Amino acid sequence: MQKKSSLIIAREYLSRVRKKSFIIMTLIGPLLFAAIIIGPMWFATLEDREVRIIAVVDSSKLFIDKIPETEYLKFEYLENTTVDQIREDFSETHYYAVLYIAHIITSAPSAVQLMSDRQPSLNIRMHIANAIEKELERQKLATYNIDNLEQILATIKTNVNIRTIIWQDDGGEKESHSELAMITGYIGGFLIYFFIFLFGAQVMRGVIEEKSSRVVEIIVSSVRPFQLMLGKIVGIGLVGLTQFLLWVVLSFTLVVLAQQIFFPDLGTPSSETVVPEDLFSSSTLHQSQPIGPDDSGRIAEIFSSISAINFGVMLGAFIFYFLGGYLLYASLFASIGSAVDSETDTQQFMLPITIPLILSIIVMMNAIMNPEGPIAFWFSIIPFTSPIIMMARIPFGVPIWEVTLSGGLLVGTFILTTWLAGKIYRTGILMYGKRVNYRELWKWIRYSS
Amino acid sequence: MDLFEARNITKNFADHQALCDVSMTVPEKSIYGLLGPNGAGKTTLIRIINQITAPDKGEILLNNRRLRSADIHRIGYMPEERGLYKKMKVGEQALYLGRLKGLDKKTAVKRLKHWFEKFEIQAWWDKKVEELSKGMQQKVQFIITILHEPELLIFDEPFSGFDPINTNLLKNEITGLRERGATIIFSTHNMASVEELCDHITLINNAKAIISGPVHNIRQKFKLDIYRIGFEGDAEKLHNILNHDYEVLELTGSSAGYTARIRINRQSTDNLLLKLLMPHFHITSFTEEIPGMNDIFINLVNRQKTGVNQ
């Protein structure tokens, strides 16, 4: 009996792992994940390489040569000319935009204007606004005639970064990153949702395939129907696990690799070290201008907070909740597959499966905002939604008793659903050409073997 | 000795009775026909024998011992609706299904090689099932059914969908299997194949076994005492010679030779008939008409139908 189960599992597993679609998915997944992680960082550093020159018409004469230039942003201060004159043949000039500063500079919107024949980028606007604010502040401060103003300003410059610390029961402390916990929770929950649907549907399709090709009758003359169902569920579950672990390993490799290529300086503690300009343009930006926090520092922070996630716990929780959720739903998917003759007939039975899953996704949005709230709590205990919701809560830290309760209920429920599904399956796989409804299914469940 | 016995099998489904108190005994090394119109309960009985479903009442004996789940390996089954995994390669699939029946890999490969050679289908080993024609798939299916060399083979409608050449091949294989010691149960509508192959039959109609026994006995039992007589002479005299114990059903032919179908009533015998005819005619042939299984089948099923209607 044992041998036959392993034969079935092996067939289900190998026939899927060897498919082209599996190999493609396995390769594309990590690329996507790596792109999600690396992409925003890379874009953050990806400045325009085009040198833009902005004509400044400064009626107040307060800001001449005061706006800091960057490698790609230059300012030309024009005197004895008006905006209208420039506008006349603007397209012939080499200017990207014209900056007009009024006589009396107040906070009125028309006091400073940036004009162009296209939409000036947000970065440039912020850069200019920042520079003008700073310069105005400096000039206002200067009117107080304070000695050593420059030094005082340099010393009072502060940068506040709030760190959130979670007190552990054992007296220790743990640094938390709530944004990151949200993101990880979201990704974890969503992945479980995705995997349950993907592999649950594969179980259903597999059952329908066996039923419609009639091979099932030969197989159940060799093994018990329940054994076949379980073998299929386990085999496909292992495919899912394989895919997930390959994704983790490949994504990790890719992220590390990308980190080495795109941000080679992150390994060293000082990001001030000389960096080739063509590779990392933002560091020159940082050297030449005081505005904005250190970009590479921010990236380093992201990396350090990613490494602060307890990957061991996350991985363990993911595998447990994926398997629990998958087993719960896969047996239901299998019983649906057995009850119908073709995939088009599955619609009416899919609803009870789809609703808790989709509800989970909706509740998950709430759960990552308020992981301790009653909604998050109850839905992470109820077995049909707990795999997704609990997974989303795990990165925030969940009391052991809650995880134990939710895990225990999940295991108990999947044993129950598998048992019920087995009864439907046993009758369904040999039933052809019959319109099956819920009453019929209930009858099948009550059949004594 | 009997290999297989079904005792008082009853099986109810939610809305109908599939089998009602059906019993049958299959002698060892025989070919046993399971007959009956569509929906009579044959497939249900076959599924019960294969332990795919369990009976509500009754028991199945194999070698006088109650059927156990381990006996699955002693039974080979080819369902009526044949099917294989379409995307799986032929060889791999045959190996998988053989191993599910308890063969170890080495033996399964060895036997498969042998059968593939015998059926001249070695070239299909690495083909996907969906690339094969229906007839080809059925050959593969047959090999899979007999691969684990079971004592009891069950074929549900084995000839449906086979072309005449493959039907013949299959018939030869079935008789060959019996010669090598296997016992075969098959269900069929094809009465010609029943007469040709079966030693015993059971006819199931409306969930009940309505007749059971050796084919020869059943045909004898259903004969209508009709004789076909070929003769030469004056056919006109026939009616004068025969009294009310005989009934001429049909008279055809010419002065060169006549054929008459005559029914004998219970009071008389064939020998008496011959005695009556011999002084007047030159008898060229004298045979008893034994009804074909086809007639018996239709006769019995219809008789039951009218009985039910009343």
CATH of the domain at B34: 3.40.50.300
Residue B148 lies in a domain: yes
Comparing A331 with A371, the larger pLDDT belongs to A331
- Domain count for chain A: 2
In what order do the strands lie in the sheet containing B226-232?
B246-254, B257-264, B226-232, B282-288
Residue A149 lies in a domain: yes
Work out the angle at residue A38's Cα, subtended by the Cα atoms of residues A35 and A39, and round it to the nearest 5 degrees: 65
pLDDT of residue A313: 81
Q: Examine the pLDDT at A231 and tell me if it is beyond 90.
A: yes
Chain B's closest residue to A14, CA to CA, is: B88
Percent of chain B with pLDDT strictly greater than 70: 99
A175 Cβ under 8 Å from any chain B Cβ? no
A328 Cβ under 8 Å from any chain B Cβ? no
From B84, B86, B96, residue closest to A11, measured CB to CB: B96
Give contacts of B 36-65 with A, CB under 8 A.
47, 50-54
Confidence of residue B95 (pLDDT cuts 50, 70, 90): very high
Residue A266 lies in a domain: yes
Verify that B228 and B216 share a domain, yes or no.
no
Verify that B125 and B238 share a domain, yes or no.
no
Verify that A103 and A244 share a domain, yes or no.
no
Chain-chain contact of A217 with B52 (C-beta, under 8 angstroms)? yes
Chain A's closest residue to B92, CA to CA, is: A11
Verify that B168 and B106 share a domain, yes or no.
yes
Verify that B199 and B76 share a domain, yes or no.
yes
Residue B102 lies in a domain: yes
Comparing A123 with B115, the larger pLDDT belongs to B115
Verify that A81 and A121 share a domain, yes or no.
yes
Residue B39 lies in a domain: yes
Comparing A180 with A98, the larger pLDDT belongs to A98
Owning domain of residue A380: 2-41+179-446
pLDDT of residue A114: 87
Verify that A132 and A183 share a domain, yes or no.
no
- Strands A73-78 and A52-58, by their bridges, are parallel
Backbone angles phi, psi at B10, to 5 degrees: -130, 135
Verify that A254 and A195 share a domain, yes or no.
yes
Chain-chain contact of B84 with A223 (C-beta, under 8 angstroms)? no
Q: Examine the pLDDT at B255 and tell me if it is beyond 90.
A: no
Verify that B178 and B78 share a domain, yes or no.
yes
Verify that B261 and B173 share a domain, yes or no.
no
A205 Cβ under 8 Å from any chain B Cβ? no
Verify that A16 and A69 share a domain, yes or no.
no
In 3-state terms chain A splits into helix, strand, coil percentages (rounded to 5) of 65, 5, 25
Give the mean model confidence (pLDDT) for residues B82-87. Answer: 86
Q: Which domain CATH number covers A100?
A: 3.40.190.10
Verify that A248 and A321 share a domain, yes or no.
yes
Verify that B19 and B95 share a domain, yes or no.
yes
- Domain count for chain B: 2
Chain-chain contact of B88 with A15 (C-beta, under 8 angstroms)? yes
Comparing A179 with A5, the larger pLDDT belongs to A5
Give contacts of B 116-155 with A, CB under 8 A.
144
Verify that A278 and A205 share a domain, yes or no.
yes
pLDDT of residue A237: 94
Tens digit of each residue's pLDDT (9 = 90 or more) over B270-304: 888 888 888 888 999 999 888 888 888 888 888 87
Measuring CA to CA, how many Å separate B258 from each of B43, B230, B232? 47, 6, 6
Q: Examine the pLDDT at A23 and tell me if it is beyond 70.
A: yes
Quickly count: other Cβ atoms within 10 Å of residue B132's Cβ: 18
Confidence of residue A46 (pLDDT cuts 50, 70, 90): low
Chain-chain contact of A15 with B69 (C-beta, under 8 angstroms)? no
Residue A47 lies in a domain: no
pLDDT of residue A89: 80
- Strands B17-27 and B2-12, by their bridges, are antiparallel
Residue A33 lies in a domain: yes
Residue A163 lies in a domain: no
From B52, B81, B87, residue closest to A221, measured CB to CB: B52
Tens digit of each residue's pLDDT (9 = 90 or more) over B169-209: 889 989 999 999 999 998 988 888 888 889 999 999 888 88
Chain A's closest residue to B44, CA to CA, is: A430
Owning domain of residue B199: 2-220
